[in-house]
Structure formats: structure tokens, C-alpha cells
Structure 1
């Protein structure tokens, strides 16, 4: 029997939730040129949608993480999925740039309550020895959602425009939220929370006293250097003469394909090269692909580069997620929400930093700098991060030594 076959069936429900939430994450990236044209703004201004989604996702994390630990994780996930679906539909009806901007803030809040809580539920259900494989299963839902969200939004955008993209995805997310609600009821994931405010305060102290809290700085840099690139991919293709939104969606979806490759290979790679090897190899692979994109190849080669970039990215990111899950037992949802906070703050700063660099230094130097930083990050993480038990694990008899 394989490790993956022994994973709890409830992971399938969690995977569905991450799939539904991830549909909207990259939905506007392939259609940004058309959004910019409709509202008479520049591509750099339209790229602010990616930043505001990520920023809202980030700043809501400390609140949502604490709420999940206090009031129940599964319940919070369903509410946030419904909010995300409604926000997408409101965005489709926007009559001004600022109304669309506001709808993306709501979407960021909705999405922000799903993925980190899903990781926390996964960590609660699975012990440390199988956690990276289980998180890989959860990531499969997220990557499939990103893949379909990016590729299908480009296709829908060619036929129905960017408004059609948001309307269709909004309806799909609302339908999925109903399915997740039914699944949670049958999976016994709604037990009363055991955390109180005193334990939550102690959890924050435990989290930041742990040397492995460096993983928060690492995911911030990841978000900046890797995900900050995505709002500019469609404009890079436009500069090459490729104006089809469907093609832009396919290229961006390549990253999610790479994420799926990671989920299918992690159970074989991890025993062979270990956590440190995963972080170094993943960062190196990402850096090489950033260099490749800087050279400005055609869309087919860019798609291939994004596939390898996604594979490498999740090799290091999956390791960092496991380190975050082991910062605290009593406040695990809070620890993983802080992980998402720093990651999405990186995605907030990333498009701004890329825009500044492209404007003042050019596309190629900017991408080469990002590549150098991410490669160095892999070696630093391998040196500084160590697999240890949470300091508050002794207080929980149900936690394996």
C-alpha cells in the first residue's frame, strides 16, 4: 500500500475546496489587455488587480487564521467560497475601474479564507511523516484550479470578454461551495474548535520564537520574484505580436501544469534528494526558467518554461509549507495563515517591483535579477531551515513525537 493510498478520504473534500478557490486567482491575467482598453488605463495600472487581490488576501490572513482556530476551519472555508463567487459576479457587472477594483478586494478576502485553512485541516489530519505528500494532494486541487482558471479564462475572454470570464467563474465557485458544504457535513470536519484566546496568544509567541519562522521571509521573496511576473506575461506576448488571449491563458496555465507535475513526483523525489535537495533544486529550476523567459522566446517555448518554473517553484514552496505547519500545533491555522500573509504580500509587491524594473532597467535585466535572487534563496533555505517538532507539541498528547 502506498503512502498516498493511506491518506484520509476527507482530503478529497479539502482538495475540492482549494480547486474552487483557485479558479479565480489568475482569472484576469490573460485578459488584462482588454480590461485596460475598456477602462482606458495602462497595462501597469490594470496589473494592480493582481496586486490588490494578493494584498487583500495577505492582510486578511491574521484575522482569518485566528477565526479558523477559534470558530472552526471547515465552516469558515464554506463562507469564504460563497463570498468569492459573489465577488466575481459583482466584478462582471462593474461599470467602472474602481468598482471592479472593489470587487477584487472582496474576491481576495474570499479566496484568503480557503487555501491556508485547507492546509491547516490537512496538517491536522496527517502526521508529519506524510504531510508533504498530503499537502501535495491539496496542492493538486489548487493547481488544477489555477490551470483551468488561467486557460479557460483566456478562451472565454476571446468569446465573451473579461466580464464573461468573471461571471462564469463566479457561478462555478458558488456551485462548488454548495458541494463542499455537503461534503464537509459527511466528512466529520466540523468538530468544535479547541483553541481559546489565551492559547492563541501563546501560539503567536511560539511561532515567532521558532528559528524556522524564516520560512515567512522566504515565501515573501518567492511571491515577489515568481508570482509578481504573471501580470506582465500577456503584455510580453503582445510585444512579440501574439495578441490571442487564449494563447496568453495557455502560457500562464503552464505554471499550474508544473505544479501538477510536482504533486505527481513529490512522493518519489522527496525520499531520494531530501528536503534540502528539493529546495535547492526547485529554486535553481525556477531561476533558469526566469532567465529563459527573459530571452523572449515564442509562446510555445514560454509555455514549456512556465511548466518547469511551476515544477521548481512548488518543490521549494511545498517544503516551506511543511515548515510553516510545524511552527505551532495549538495555533496551526494561524501559522499557515501567516505563511499565506507573507506569500501574498510578496505577490502584492512583486508586480510593482517588476513594473518599476521593466520601466527603468528593461525586461531582461529585471528578470535576471529575480532569477539570481531566487537561486540564492534555495541555498539559504537549505542552510537555515531544520526539521524540528513544534515547541508546543508536548502540550498535545495526540501529536506524534
Structure 2
């Protein structure tokens, strides 16, 4: 694998530090800002929404101006947004900073996938993407777990300050790494006049509808659950934010297990088997969380959930990377657009369903949807692309 993949993974690590960091501290944000937990969950939703809404523009900008340069600008913006959020004295101001944080995060991960896909041929692409995901999972793991610990010690504002400083420091290291690897200068670019043809090529591929619909459902049913984990634990009498952070971080641990085992399980199960097995594993763990066990059992469930999720999601990412060779960054950015739109809708849908139907019925329905999704994706994503991935 090319050494530049390690720099790309570092960039995704820095960007993903903020992705789940607010979830464990939402109850304290709600108390400090005098809003409900459901309202505070809007911070997670708006971050995901702003991440999603810029994806069509981010993908086009990356293909036109260069992937490496865009990633660096977005890392700096993310660091500044986090520090600014720590200084906010109103929920509205904090809400705005999370919008900018979402936009900045949106300029890193899908572009990183495009760079990784450019560097390796199709037979090795899922392993290369797995390494990129490892950076993301490491960031999610540390972001969620340390956010809970820091939140207990110095509050949610301290969480944002630490995150901002770390992201800015990593952006310097990534910039130096890109210059040595000549990534900024050699990033493959496309002309503005090529964009229309790129979009036409993407949406003329029948796999586009399947991939984009599937990741929207994933984001809604799985990631939409996360803002409510701390509240679920509060109901069980566990009010330590560090515990909520550890439980959520279990999902990232499962993602890391996926990156370490993807080549072995891909050879053993094939793409269709990975999709079905991953979806069933996720569905089972969502049901387990709905039963409200001790936090230690929920931690194990989140580890298994993360492992299963990326078995399915990783396959979808590879299919998305093949929708258009000419406009790969655009195709992957659209993939992230639909994924994060699902994460935007998810907390809202969960909140409405929890108030109407209750905890277990809500989680059980979402588990059923994910199980069906795995079967449908395995059935529909067929043909030459699936054959090449085996």
C-alpha cells in the first residue's frame, strides 16, 4: 500500500475526532444552555446536516482544485470552529459553530476516500479504504471516550477546546506530509465543463440509487441512535458522562476490528456475505440495546454493532467509488451526502418515535429495517462490479 495512505488516514483521524465527541456531553450542554436533551441533540443533527449539504459542492471542488489542498483548508476550519464553540454563551451561537464544524468535516472524509481510491486499483481498494476508515474509527474512538472523561473533569467547553487544538496540530503534520508526498501538486483534477458529464455518469449507473438509498437508511437507523445513548444510560441510573463516551466509543472499536479483519472476511464471505452478515449483526445489537442491559453489556453490543456496520458500509463505499472513474470524489461526496442526511433525519425520527412508541419498539423497528437492508443490497448490487470485488 502507498505510504501516502498513512497521511490520508491521519487527516481522517483528525476530522473524525469531533464527529461523536458531543454525544456523551449532551445532557450537560442541555443543562448549561437551559434546553431539553432532545433540543441539544439538534447539535449532532445540524453537524450531520451541514456535512451532508455541502457534499455535492465539496466533491466538485475537490475534483477541480485538488483533493489535498481542500482537505487542509477544511482541517483548519474545523479546528477554529471547535475552539469558537467553547466560547459560546448561547445555544444559537453554539449551533452555528457546529454548522461550520460539519462543513469542515465534510471536506475531509469523502475527499480522503477519493484520494485513497485514486492510489490503488479495484482489487485492493476495499483494503485501502479500510485503512482510511481505521483513521476515522481511531478518531471516533478517542473523540467519544475522551470527550466523556474530559466532560466529567472540566465540562463540555473543555472538550471543544482540546479537540480544536488537536485538530489544528494535526493539520500542520498532514500539510507537511502532503508536501513530501507531492499530494497537493499531483492530485488529479477535472475541468468545470466535465462536471455535468460526471454527474450524468454517476446517476446513469443503476448501483447509484441502491448505494445512496442504503447509506441514507444506515445513517438514520444506526447513527441516529447515538445522541440518545447518554439519556438511555441516565434512565438506568448511570449518569457518568465518561461511561456514555465509552459505550459510544465501542462502535469505533468494532470499526477498528473491521479494518483489521476485512481482507480475511472478504475472502471468506465474499461481498454479498459481508453485507448480509454485517446487517444481521447490527440488527441483533440494536435489539440488545433496546432491552436496556447494564452499560458493560451495551458496550459489547456497540463493539459488535460497529463491526457489523462497517462490514455492510465498507462494501457500499467500494461500490460508490466505482460509480464514476472521472468524478470519483464527486461520487463519494454524494455517498457521504446521503449518509449524513440520514444522520440528520435519524435523531429527529428517533425523538418522535421514542415519545410516541417508546424505547424498545423504536429500536426493534430500526433493527428490522437494517436486517432487510442488508438482504436487499446483497440482492441488488450484482453484476461485473460485484464479481471484481470478490
The correspondence of residues 82-231 of structure 1 with structure 2, limited to 5 A, is 82-190=76-184, 191=186, 193-213=188-208, 214-231=210-227
The correspondence of residues 239-388 of structure 1 with structure 2, limited to 5 A, is 239-386=235-382, 388=384
Give the total of aligned pairs.
384
Deviation at 1:192, TM superposition (A): 5.5
Report the Cα distance in structure 1 between the residues aligned to 2:274 and 2:120, rounded to whole angstroms.
Answer: 21
> Cα distance 1:164–1:203, how it changes in 2: closer, same or farther (>3 A)?
same
The correspondence of residues 6-17 of structure 1 with structure 2, limited to 5 A, is 7-17=1-11
Q: Which residue of 2 aligns with 1:72?
A: 66
Deviation at 1:386, TM superposition (A): 2.4
Report the Cα distance in structure 2 between the residues aligned to 1:39 and 1:110, rounded to whole angstroms.
Answer: 24
Report the Cα distance in structure 1 between the residues aligned to 2:384 and 2:92, rounded to whole angstroms.
Answer: 46
Deviation at 1:154, TM superposition (A): 0.3
- Provide, for residues 160-215 of structure 1, a one-character-per-residue CA deviation record: whole Å limited to 9, x for no partner: 10000000000000000010000000112121543112221101001001011010
Contact 1:78–1:180 at 8 Å: present in 2 too?
Answer: yes
Root mean square deviation of aligned Cα: 1.0
Q: Which residue of 2 aligns with 1:61?
A: 55
Report the Cα distance in structure 1 between the residues aligned to 2:317 and 2:125, rounded to whole angstroms.
Answer: 10
> Cα distance 1:387–1:321, how it changes in 2: closer, same or farther (>3 A)?
farther
Contact 1:323–1:387 at 8 Å: present in 2 too?
Answer: no
Q: TM-score, normalised by structure 2?
A: 0.97
Report the Cα distance in structure 1 between the residues aligned to 2:383 and 2:104, rounded to whole angstroms.
Answer: 32
Report the Cα distance in structure 1 between the residues aligned to 2:379 and 2:182, rounded to whole angstroms.
Answer: 40
Deviation at 1:114, TM superposition (A): 0.2
Contact 1:326–1:388 at 8 Å: present in 2 too?
Answer: no
Report the Cα distance in structure 1 between the residues aligned to 2:27 and 2:189, rounded to whole angstroms.
Answer: 48
Q: TM-score, normalised by structure 1?
A: 0.95
> Cα distance 1:26–1:387, how it changes in 2: closer, same or farther (>3 A)?
farther
The reply on whether 1:50 has 2:44 as its aligned counterpart is yes
Q: Any gaps of 5 or more consecutive residues in structure 1?
A: 1-6, 391-401
Contact 1:13–1:183 at 8 Å: present in 2 too?
Answer: yes
Deviation at 1:388, TM superposition (A): 3.6
Report the Cα distance in structure 1 between the residues aligned to 2:86 and 2:383, rounded to whole angstroms.
Answer: 45
Report the Cα distance in structure 1 between the residues aligned to 2:268 and 2:238, rounded to whole angstroms.
Answer: 41
Deviation at 1:387, TM superposition (A): 5.2
